[in-house]
Structure formats: C-alpha cells, structure tokens
Structure 1
C-alpha cells in the first residue's frame, strides 16, 4: 500500500496564487456597470439563481445571461492584458 504525503506548496507557489487572486479581484473591480456585482455573485458557492440575481441586482432575468456573457468577455480581455496570468 503506497500512501503519499500531502504536498506543501512552496513559498513561490503561495506568492503566485495570491498574486493571481489579486489580479483577478482588481480586474473584476475594474469592470463597467453592474459587472463587478454580477461576477462576484456568480463566484459565490453556491451561485445564486437567476431569480435571486434579478432581485438582488434589480435587473430582468432575461438580461442576466447576455450581461453575464458581456461581463465575462470584458473580464477575459482585461486579464489577457496581464502578461503574468
């Protein structure tokens, strides 16, 4: 029976993971309009339903999906400009 010991992340791994989290957090905050609130809500565990999002953000349920797509495209573009991701 072979058991492996849990790996401990190196200081560099910890640093890089925190840097990535900070870059993503900053990029989400830089999104336009309702995007920061929508993206943050979608990252919750468990994510809220569209009904809950509609009530929380004051937007029609039918516009959540298209808005989500635009917000994520904008987030991808912002993160793409960061060379170290």
Structure 2
C-alpha cells in the first residue's frame, strides 16, 4: 500500500492500514509539538491526541493525499491548546502566600536601591563595568576565563575586581 488513498481504503475494508499511517507520519506528528517547545510529556499528549482525532475522523477524510497537512494542523491546534492551558496554570512550587508579597514601601526601597546601584555602576570605567558584570552574572567562571574574556592577565583579575568594588562602594556612598 503506497498511497494514502490505498492505506485508508485498506483500513476501511478491515485490512490493516493503521500501522502504515502511523509509520508514515509518526515523525511529522511528533515534530509539531516539539517545534512549540512543549515538554516531553505535553508533546506525547499532543501526539496521542492527534492520532486519536484521526481515528475519530478517519471515515470523513475526503482528501487522503492531504492527510499530512491534516495531521500537522490537528497537532498544531492541540499544541496551542496545551500552551493556552499551561498559561493559565499556577505552579505550586512557585506559589507564595499573599503575606510574603512585598509591601509598596519595600518595592519602592528596592527600586531606589537598584537605581542607585546602576547609576554608580555606569559611572565606573568600562573595564570595571564589564568585570563586575561578569562577576555578578557568571560567578562560576574561573579567573583564567574572566581574564581571557576581558583581555587581562590572570594575576590582575582579583586585584582589579577589588579596586572596582571599592570604587563602586565609594560612588554608592556618595549617592546616599
């Protein structure tokens, strides 16, 4: 059985055609939810739902040669439905009781602190800005990696970072 028409006719007449369809389109159907970057479990659900929809609508397929398009559209609709449902969910591990939310005063203080930090940081020279940025955002990097990224000697990374932090502290104190 080569064409989709022959496979569907075989399935309708009781000759096994389902396995041929699954084999032919399995990778295509699986690729759709993965292209939406769904988790493996969600992609597997979409995959199963797509084949279930086909089983439910198999007798109504009017253009068997367009079956691939039908499967992609169905898997796309299923993937979008999963994304919508996930967007409305609240993960319990990220849920915090309302009492732990910051007060408006706490938010204002934190915003002011961040503004002052960025203002002070931007007044440092570019080398200090880059070094402190790397230290804050990639603390796992070794001194050798930081030195290579900034074009510095490995032995000067620690001393330069200490000088930059001292300069940043002074500038922050001046902004108080």
Q: Identify the TM-score tier after normalising by the shorter chain.
A: 0.7 to 0.9
Alignment of 1:5-20 (within 5 A): 6-20=99-113
Q: Residue 45 and residue 34 in structure 1: after superposition, are their counterparts in 2 closer, same or farther (change >3 A)?
A: closer
Q: Per the alignment, do residues 33 and 45 of structure 1 end up closer, same or farther by CA in structure 2, a change over 3 Å counting?
A: closer
CA RMSD of aligned residues (A): 1.8
Which has a greater percent of helix?
A: 2
Any unmatched runs of 5+ in structure 1?
Answer: none
Partners of 2:113 and 2:141 lie apart in 1 by 24
Matched, 1:39 2:132: yes
TM-score by length of 2: 0.42
Residue from 132, 141, 149 that aligns with 1:56: 149
TM-score, normalised to structure 1, is 0.82
More relative contact order, 1 or 2 (CA 8 Å, 6+ apart): 1
4+ runs deviating over 3 angstroms? none
What is the total number of aligned residue pairs between the two structures?
80
